[in-house]
Amino acid sequence: MSNITALKRNEKSNIHLSCEVNGEAVQVSVAPYKTLLEVLREDMSLTGTKHGCELGECGACAVLLDGEPVLSCLSLAVDAEGRSIETIEGLSDNAELHPLQAAFADLGGSQCGYCTPGVLVTAKSLLDHNPDPSREEIKEALSGNLCRCTGYQQIFEAVEEAIIRIGESGKGSVEVAR
Amino acid sequence: MSTRDKLSVIGKSRRRVDGASKVSGQTKFADDIVLPRMLHCKLLRSHLPHANIKNVDTSRAERHPGVKLVLTGNDFPNEYGILPVSQDERPLCKEKVRFVGDPVAAVIALDEFTAEEALQLIDVEYEELATIADPLEGLNTPEARLHEYSEEGNIHKRLSYEFGDVDDAIAKSEHVFEDIFFYEGCTHLPMEQHAAVGHIEADGRITLWSSTQCPHYVHRAISKALEIPTARIRVIATPNGGGFGGKTDPFNHEIVVIKAAMLLGRPVKIALTREEVFYCHRGRHPVLMKYRTGVDKDGKLTGMHLQTMLDGGAYGSYGVASTFYTCVLQPVTYHLPRYAFDACRVFTNKPPCGPKRGHGTVQPRFGQEVQMDKIAEKLKIDPADFRLGVIEQAGAMTANYLKIGSMGLAECINKVVERSDWKNKYGKLPKGKGIGIACSSYLTGAGNSIYWNAMPHSGVQLKLDRSGKVTVFCGATEIGQGSDDVLVGMVAEVLGLDPLMIRCVTGDTDLTPVDLGSYSSRVTLMMGNAAIQAAERARDLIAEAVSKKLGVPLERLVFADMRVFDTEDPELGLDFHKAVVCGEEMHGTLGTTGSYAPPEPPGKYKGSGVGPSPAYSYSAAVVELDIDELTGWVHVERVYIAHDLGKALNPVLSRGQVQGGVYMGLGEALMEEQTFQRLPPRLSNALVHKTPSMLEYKSLTAHDMPEVIIDLIEDPDENGPFGAKEAGQGPLTPIIPAVANAVYDAVGVRIDEVPITAEKILKALDKKARGGEGRVGPDKFPEIEWPEPYEVPPPWEGGDGDAVNKPKRKRAAKMHEMDKFKKAVSS
Amino acid sequence: MMRLPRFQYYAPRDIAEAAQILNSEGSDAMVVAGGTDLIPNMKRKQQMPKTLIALRKIDSLRQLTNGSGLNMGAGLSLTELVRNDKIKSDYAGLWQAAAQVATPHLRNMGTLGGNICLDTRCSYYDQNYEWRKAINYCMKKEGEVCWVSTGSKRCLATSSTDTAPALISLGAKVRLTSADEERELLLADLYQDDGIDYLMRRANEIVTEVILPDSNNWRSTYWKLRRRGSFDFPVLSVAAAASMAKDGSIEQARIVLGAVSSQPLVCEKVDEFLQGKKLSDEVIEEASLLCGKVARPVKNTDFNPAWRKRAIIRIATYALQELRGDDMSEQRLKIARHIL
């Protein structure tokens, strides 16, 4: 084993994790067996990311990892080393809501608000990759986010409204990687 | 003075007041609360479905590093429960466990991981008991008895009522229809798992933050269970990440964290896993039901006799109310000259059932609306026309003494018929394609509180000051339905303000006046009326001062556009801000209150308290679907729904409620089911939940939701604020029977059982192909020894709302006395 | 919140290193790629490795190269497969299978290697520790009885991978790497019909690559049946691939059924039946009935086995019709709940 250079994490000692969260460099000491969900919520106080099952069965804990939606409940925090993470807290541009957020608030895309963070980051990733998706593409992108309140229709409508607003403002969507 | 005739806030679609907070992740749900020195709690739950607890040894767990406290049933003095008649729950089980998941002990530790590790170190010695898996077993198996207080054996409760001589009416009818249906149980599955934080301040005051729909009832339950005066307890309902009825009971974990916080002097949090949420349950009762309905030759209903049997699960919960609700709302949609019902709830070794969206009425509405379809077919009348011919009238009093106010069902039916092109589709679509219609009605708030009292059901307080800021306080709880938005909307409309100028403080028993909670679709109407009263009182105070200051007669003052002005000379007026200053100068510190209590229900007979409501909402739905006849695979193509909600206060939210109801209704119609399984008895005594996970408890995804065409019908009710009735629960209900009726139209088989799955459709098609009846559903309703019915003549037969007889009732043993008696005997 | 048990974690940078660690850590170690299968299992205490060897830092596992066919690193995410044009055009069955795994989020995380090694699934096994305690466990973990069929000598847990049936129908091979050896075998030979020992992988081997032969004149398709349009594992699936002669007759066919056995079920009888035939309605009907005969669904997943056995006939028909070149988009919409 002497020639092994692999990153080794002992179960007992904390690890030092460096990554980028919502565009800011973050360094934190975490237990190696913690998921990204636990670290975001408990070690970084970013409680905007929710949990509904912790088994990858609902989508409530979705965050963007290097711009792609993943489930933070199934991601090991150590695997985020050196990567970029985006959560609901990073969606707005300072005090201004992202067009998706504004449209969701206006058009009933969020009722109880619990699936909303996961839905919104997923929708943002969709628009970053595909600025003008069809209704079918929106459905497909959000098919990993369960919602028990809305019946999804107002979520789809809000995404479509956000696309229009982004187009009108001429700003385009925020870039994925900063 | 007045609010301008033209409404400026009410009826307009606008961003909900909590919208920005929710889309930015700022809304603090219960598990988002983190306090300094906070400890974490996990519950040890029974792995046996029914057993006596012989001994609980916590010593190993107590020695585990990081563990601060271990609690058992012996640490809690009293039972509690949501209904006064079924105080049968304990924070932790003491003498017996009644289902897999019943909590036995609690560990409080530095972190959740440690607490969970320590659970494995608690040694519980059990004595296993025979189990009851379904109500039929419960009827036939009085022992082992789950609760000593039940009416008889494992029969929790039986009801029997007759509103006129139904047998006579049916006997004289041209046609008699007898049908048996079964509705499988299902659960709420809110996205947020229940969580609670208990905290004790240095001065001994106690606070609970919890994802509860009913902080007021939790407040009472904590007081009772722990023998602490309510004045020392503060319950804060955090915004619920979905409720649907699943967070309306006081829960054991809430009481446990309070107790732990009191003993440790530190905050204690519990956050349930998804599996534990399935064990909390309180969801839809599985109900077997039998309808006997008479119809005369003109296609009018002559009478109906409904019998229901509910699988209650292991505890009372809202069960007695649920049992009534399976029977009381039948006469609210269609005129029934005579009506009778018998209902029975049985205890079983499964998580307790309770109220889920449409509480108790969804199951019988399914049966009733499918039977209506069968009747229409037999009579060769179009099912939509048949319904239009028999609907109850606005302002009517039903056979069971429910007073109907506004009634937009006819308009709902006409609307969905027109939208869906029903007349060109019903019975005319190609084989495999089908269309079905069904209707429903629901309460806008229960006419009576859970516990009898003469106080308001909802209270609202308003604070205004020289800042121009208005703060509105109410005990109501935001569970996603938009309760905060309704509250603010009412006040904004009356005072002519922008909703953003108003802050609302809700669901906090220390700060807000009592509101009974977010259940029975009561909030919009009850809180709304209280809010209007409080706002109008504030308006009067301010108007008086402004009138004096400007020399404008009171009756000419208008509150609109954030101003108070002379309606005849709009230039003459004050900004609202300055108007409040005037008010404060004249009256001193400004504050008003508003209260609401529902009208006295007309029925006087015992049991008449369940069913009355200040207003009833109405819905009609049409479902179009496609069925593959080789597999029974169902593809729902479109849903049309029209819902009479009196008045849409914020139409974007109203539509959201209707759409969400359709979503949940489709889930129940097609796939959602909370079912249990026994293993082979010779090998195991297990009785477990089949699918306690988000993956296997099937709820519709974005791909599974068809297009929904919604029409909001506004038939204002005089009891509703601005005429509004409910929209949160009613629209779920017609979806299920509409699916069943569409299946029949598509392939000619009757699935008299929910959920309606491909397996059942294929089975029915097979039976039909073999020349049998193309039907899947229950064949028998069991023989139940019903009590002597209360005989209440309907209004048109000279009734005064009271029973004409005095049936004898075996009084259920009071549980405390029974427990004491048992203890005395055993010692 | 459900939390992970504790473990020791390695993140090697190349395959040799990973293989070496796996070799030395022995049976207490497991490799993890996307984690979408293993992490939930660990939280439910179904699998409790003391050591995790993460593969995601190994770049060579994420390569996709054109050989005579297509060489796909086992660490490619399912999304990467779905976004690949060559897979979509030349290996439609694999593309359709990958596109229907779970949800977009899980496909962003889950890998090809992870999906073909997916732990077999069963309603008595895929449960939390406490639930399994309530049934006194089962043969696959900590118990003795197979509750699916209490007389069964072996575990009946079901193979639920979507990509494996599609890959087998396309004649895929798999490369296994250990500290001292590297070998290739037909993907079909990676599996055996046992819910516990379902993989013929040695404990010290890592699945490193999947190799597809040249697609030439092969057509392929994958049909998945599940209750909902996303999330769910298959309750049955049909992968069909065939090489077609110019006149439309089948030179060679491979039909593989998913989720009806503890391994992807290769239907040799159907393959033989189809050989040399044109896909007429009658041939499709007969072949589909044959599929129904060989399938052996058991009662351990959503939908009852009798219905699944019937439904497989219908789904096989759809698959073969699509293979023939029929436009199946309407049926696909109803079955998959969306257009792929």
Contact: B671, C227; criterion CB under 8 Å: yes
The answer to the question of residue C152 being in a domain is no
The string of pLDDT tens digits covering residues A35-59 is: 999 999 999 999 999 999 999 999 9
Q: Which of C100, C105, C109, C233 to probe the A interface (max A CBs under 10 A)?
A: C105
Chain C closest CA to B722's CA: distance in Å? 41
Place of tokens 């309760």: B483
Contact: B32, A47; criterion CB under 8 Å: yes
**Run of H or E residues at B108:** strand B103-109
Question: How would you classify the pairing of strands B206-210 and B233-237?
Answer: parallel
Q: What is the pLDDT of residue B808?
A: 85
Mapping DSSP to helix (H, G, I), strand (E, B) and coil, where does residue C20 land? helix
- Name the E strands within B421-568: 433-443, 458-464, 470-474, 502-506, 557-560, 563-566
The string of pLDDT tens digits covering residues B247-283 is: 999 999 999 999 999 999 999 999 999 999 999 999 9
- Are residues C228 and C319 both part of a single domain? yes
CA–CA gap between residue B549 and residue B666 (Å, rounded): 59
Alpha-carbon distance values, B255 to A98, B50, B507, B793, C63 (Å): 41, 23, 18, 45, 55
Q: Compute the average pLDDT of residues B406-419.
A: 98
Q: What is the pLDDT of residue B719?
A: 98
Q: Say what angle helices B523-550 and B483-495 make with each other, to 10 degrees.
A: 20
Q: What is the pLDDT of residue B701?
A: 98
Tokens of B587: 């009256």
Question: How would you classify the pairing of strands B2-3 and A68-71?
Answer: unpaired
- Are residues A80 and A117 both part of a single domain? no
Radius of gyration of chain B (CA): 27
- Chain B residues within 8 A of A107 when measuring between CB atoms: 652
Chain B closest CA to C150's CA: distance in Å? 8
Cβ(B101)–Cβ(B279) under 8 Å? yes
A49 in B contact zone (CB under 8 Å) = yes
- Are residues C230 and C323 both part of a single domain? yes
The answer to the question of residue C39 being in a domain is yes
Cβ(C106)–Cβ(A71) under 8 Å? yes
- Are residues C288 and C303 both part of a single domain? yes
The answer to the question of residue A8 being in a domain is no
- Are residues A107 and A61 both part of a single domain? no
Higher pLDDT, A10 or B406: B406
Q: For chain A, how many structural domains are there in total? A: 2
Does the interface predicted TM-score (ipTM) exceed 0.85? yes
Domains B2-26+456-596 and B156-187+283-448+605-776 share a fold: yes
Domain range holding C269? 59-111+160-170+216-336
Contact: B100, C134; criterion CB under 8 Å: yes
CA–CA gap between residue C141 and residue B319 (Å, rounded): 38
Q: Which of C39, C228, C333 to probe the B interface (max B CBs under 10 A)?
A: C228
The answer to the question of residue A174 being in a domain is no
B708 in A contact zone (CB under 8 Å) = yes
Mapping DSSP to helix (H, G, I), strand (E, B) and coil, where does residue B331 land? helix
CA–CA gap between residue B694 and residue B714 (Å, rounded): 37
What CATH class has B156-187+283-448+605-776?
Answer: alpha beta
Domain range holding A50? 15-90
- Chain B residues within 8 A of C3 when measuring between CB atoms: 112-113, 116
Q: CA B255, B260, B262 angle in degrees (round to 5)? A: 95
Which CATH number does the domain B33-129+191-242+247-280 belong to among 3.30.300.30, 3.40.190.10, 3.90.1170.50, 2.40.10.10? Answer: 3.90.1170.50
Tokens of B317: 């919960």
Contact: C39, A143; criterion CB under 8 Å: no
DSSP per-residue letters across B664-721: HHHHHHHT----EEEPPTTT---EEES--STTTS----TTT--EEEEEEE----TTSG
Contact: C105, A75; criterion CB under 8 Å: no
The answer to the question of residue A70 being in a domain is yes
For chain B, domain boundaries: 2-26+456-596, 33-129+191-242+247-280, 156-187+283-448+605-776
Cβ(B208)–Cβ(B257) under 8 Å? yes
Q: CA B730, B736, B739 angle in degrees (round to 5)? A: 135
Residue C53 is part of a domain; what is its CATH number?
3.30.43.10
Q: Compute the average pLDDT of residues C142-153.
A: 96
Cα end-to-end distance, chain A, whole Å: 39
Of B330, B354, B522, residue with least CA distance to B439? B330
CA–CA gap between residue C48 and residue C5 (Å, rounded): 7
Q: Is the dihedral of CA A57, A63, A69, A72 positive or negative?
A: negative
**CB < 8 Å from A in window 634-673 of B:** 652-653, 655-656, 659-660, 662-664
CA–CA gap between residue B183 and residue B669 (Å, rounded): 9
Place of tokens 């349930």: B272
- Among B148-152, B812-816, C75-79, the range scoring the smallest mean pLDDT is B812-816
- B3 band by pLDDT with thresholds 50, 70 and 90: low
- Are residues A42 and A107 both part of a single domain? no
Residue C107 is part of a domain; what is its CATH number?
3.30.390.50
Across the interface, which of B31, B628, B701 has its CB nearest the CB of C228? B701
The string of pLDDT tens digits covering residues B111-133 is: 999 999 999 999 999 999 999 99
Across the interface, which of C123, C229, C335 has its CB nearest the CB of B704? C229
**CB < 8 Å from B in window 17-36 of A:** none
State the number of CA atoms in the 13 A half-sphere of C200 facing the CB.
Answer: 14
Chain B closest CA to C312's CA: distance in Å? 9
Mapping DSSP to helix (H, G, I), strand (E, B) and coil, where does residue B316 land? coil
Across the interface, which of A8, A55, A68 has its CB nearest the CB of C2? A55
CA–CA gap between residue C161 and residue C263 (Å, rounded): 9
Q: What is the pLDDT of residue B6?
A: 86
The type of residue at C93 is: G
Q: What is the pLDDT of residue B552?
A: 97
The answer to the question of residue A10 being in a domain is no
Q: What is the pLDDT of residue C319?
A: 98
- Are residues C21 and C164 both part of a single domain? no
Q: What is the pLDDT of residue B678?
A: 96
Using the predicted structure, report yes or no on whether residue B819 has a pLDDT greater than 70: no
Chain B closest CA to A7's CA: distance in Å? 25
Under-50 pLDDT residues of chain A: 1-3, 172-178
**CB < 8 Å from A in window 273-292 of B:** 273-274
Minimum CA–CA partner of C5 in chain A: A33
For chain B, percent helix, then strand, then coil, each to nearest 5?
30, 25, 45
- The Cβ of residue B562 has, within 10 Å, a number of other Cβ atoms equal to 16
Mapping DSSP to helix (H, G, I), strand (E, B) and coil, where does residue B160 land? strand
Q: For residue B700, give every residue at least 6 positions away whose Cβ sits within 8 Å of its Cβ, in sequence order, or none.
A: B663, B666, B667, B670, B671, C228
Taking phi first (over 0 means left), then psi (-120 to 50 degrees means alpha), and beta for anything else, what does residue C136 get?
A: left
The string of pLDDT tens digits covering residues A135-154 is: 999 999 999 999 999 999 99
Q: What is the pLDDT of residue C301?
A: 96
Question: Domain B2-26+456-596 is of which CATH architecture?
Answer: 2-Layer Sandwich (3.30)
Contact: C334, B113; criterion CB under 8 Å: no
Of C115, C256, C117, residue with least CA distance to C198? C117
**CB < 8 Å from C in window 84-103 of B:** 100
User: Bridge partners of B397?
Assistant: B403
Whole-number average pLDDT of chain B = 96
A4 in C contact zone (CB under 8 Å) = yes
Q: What is the pLDDT of residue B724?
A: 98
**Run of H or E residues at B218:** helix B215-226
Residue A68 is part of a domain; what is its CATH number?
3.10.20.30
Q: Is the dihedral of CA B198, B201, B203, B208 positive or negative?
A: negative
Tokens of A10: 């002992």
- Are residues C49 and C164 both part of a single domain? no
Those chains having 3 or more beta-carbon pairs within 8 angstroms of chain A are B, C
Cβ(B647)–Cβ(B11) under 8 Å? yes
pTM above 0.95, yes or no: yes
- Are residues C87 and C30 both part of a single domain? no
Tokens of A104: 């969701």
DSSP per-residue letters across B341-365: EEEEEEE-SSPPP---SSTTTHHHH
CB pairs under 8 A between A and C: 125
Across the interface, which of B635, B683, B759 has its CB nearest the CB of C334? B635
Across the interface, which of A32, A55, A144 has its CB nearest the CB of C104? A144
- Chain B residues within 8 A of A147 when measuring between CB atoms: 191, 702
The answer to the question of residue A4 being in a domain is no
Using the predicted structure, report yes or no on whether residue B311 has a pLDDT greater than 50: yes
- Are residues A131 and A114 both part of a single domain? yes
Of C162, C151, C87, residue with least CA distance to C117? C162
Contact: A104, B26; criterion CB under 8 Å: no
Of C119, C120, C129, C126, residue with least CA distance to C45? C129
The answer to the question of residue A29 being in a domain is yes
Q: What is the DSSP letter of B732?
A: G
DSSP per-residue letters across B423-464: HHHTTTSPTTEEEEEEEEEEESS-SS-SS--SS-SEEEEEEE
CA–CA gap between residue A17 and residue A31 (Å, rounded): 10
Q: Say what angle helices B651-670 and A153-169 make with each other, to 10 degrees.
A: 140
- Are residues C72 and C52 both part of a single domain? no
Tokens of B360: 């108790």
Contact: B692, C128; criterion CB under 8 Å: yes
Cβ(A151)–Cβ(A143) under 8 Å? no
Minimum CA–CA partner of B31 in chain A: A47
- Are residues C100 and C221 both part of a single domain? yes
Using the predicted structure, report yes or no on whether residue B289 has a pLDDT greater than 70: yes
Residues of C with CB under 8 A from a CB of A: 1-13, 17-18, 20-21, 24, 35-36, 39-40, 43-44, 53-54, 56-57, 79, 102-106, 108-109, 229-231, 338-339
CA–CA gap between residue B750 and residue B767 (Å, rounded): 11
Is it true that the peptide bond before B755 is cis, omega within 30 degrees of 0? yes
CA–CA gap between residue C54 and residue A83 (Å, rounded): 16
Cβ(B532)–Cβ(B3) under 8 Å? no
Q: Is the dihedral of CA B575, B580, B583, B584 positive or negative?
A: negative
- Are residues A130 and A73 both part of a single domain? no
- Are residues A82 and A121 both part of a single domain? no
The type of residue at B785 is: E
CA–CA gap between residue B724 and residue B726 (Å, rounded): 7
Is it true that the peptide bond before B144 is cis, omega within 30 degrees of 0? yes
Q: What is the pLDDT of residue C154?
A: 97
Residues belonging to chain A: 178
Of B194, B108, C9, B117, residue with least CA distance to A35? C9
Of B277, B347, B304, residue with least CA distance to B136? B347
The answer to the question of residue C129 being in a domain is no
The string of pLDDT tens digits covering residues C247-306 is: 999 999 999 999 999 999 999 999 999 999 999 999 999 999 999 999 999 999 999 999
- Are residues A32 and A67 both part of a single domain? yes
Cα B797 to the chain's mean position, in Å?
33
- B2 band by pLDDT with thresholds 50, 70 and 90: low
- Are residues A77 and A105 both part of a single domain? no
Across the interface, which of A53, A69, A78 has its CB nearest the CB of C104? A69
Contact: B32, A140; criterion CB under 8 Å: no
Residue A143 is part of a domain; what is its CATH number?
1.10.150.120
Minimum CA–CA partner of C150 in chain B: B680
Q: Is the dihedral of CA C291, C297, C301, C304 positive or negative?
A: positive
- Are residues A81 and A103 both part of a single domain? no
B350 in C contact zone (CB under 8 Å) = no
The answer to the question of residue C127 being in a domain is no
B692 in C contact zone (CB under 8 Å) = yes
The answer to the question of residue C97 being in a domain is yes
The string of pLDDT tens digits covering residues B581-606 is: 999 999 999 999 999 999 999 999 99
Chain C closest CA to B636's CA: distance in Å? 9
User: Bridge partners of B157?
Assistant: B345
User: Bridge partners of B298?
Assistant: none
Across the interface, which of B16, B23, B27 has its CB nearest the CB of A101? B23
Contact: C314, B273; criterion CB under 8 Å: no
- Chain B residues within 8 A of C230 when measuring between CB atoms: 701-703
- Are residues C276 and C312 both part of a single domain? yes
CA–CA gap between residue C138 and residue C140 (Å, rounded): 6
Tokens of B158: 């039986």
- Are residues C286 and C300 both part of a single domain? yes
The answer to the question of residue C131 being in a domain is no
The answer to the question of residue A162 being in a domain is yes
The answer to the question of residue A9 being in a domain is no
Q: For chain C, how many structural domains are there in total? A: 2
